[in-house]
Amino acid sequence: MNQSNKKLEESLLHLLFKEYGPMVTGVDLVKVLGYPSDNAFRQSISRKTVPVEIFDIPNRKGKFALVTEIASWLAAQKQNSK
């Protein structure tokens, strides 16, 4: 990982943490990962193609993902687009 990619990841992590805290869930998770709809996200879950690890929390509804993993994945997408 080069220095500019590391800075981008840190910046994304700061922004995501400020907005969502340590985890993202629900409509926000769909939006942050760039899915066009809830249905597209559900299909990705069933196909096991969600780009970050998602998990359940006992006695809580929905799927969850850590902002650290989302920030890392987003930065990698930018790096790989070159």
Would you list the DSSP string of 33-69?
TT-SSHHHHHHHHHHT--SS--B--TT--S-EEEHHH
Residue 26 pLDDT: 95
Contacts 24+ apart (CB under 8 A), 25-29: 25/62, 25/63, 25/64, 25/65, 26/62, 29/54, 29/62, 29/63, 29/64, 29/65
Q: What is the pLDDT along the chain (82 residues), one digit of tens a residue?
A: 688 889 999 999 999 999 999 999 999 999 999 999 999 999 999 999 999 999 999 999 999 999 999 999 999 998 887 6
Do 29 and 45 form a contact (C-beta atoms < 8 A)?
no
Residue 35 pLDDT: 97
Residue 82 pLDDT: 64
Residue 2 pLDDT: 81
Query: Beta-carbon neighbour count of residue 1 at 10 Å?
Result: 11
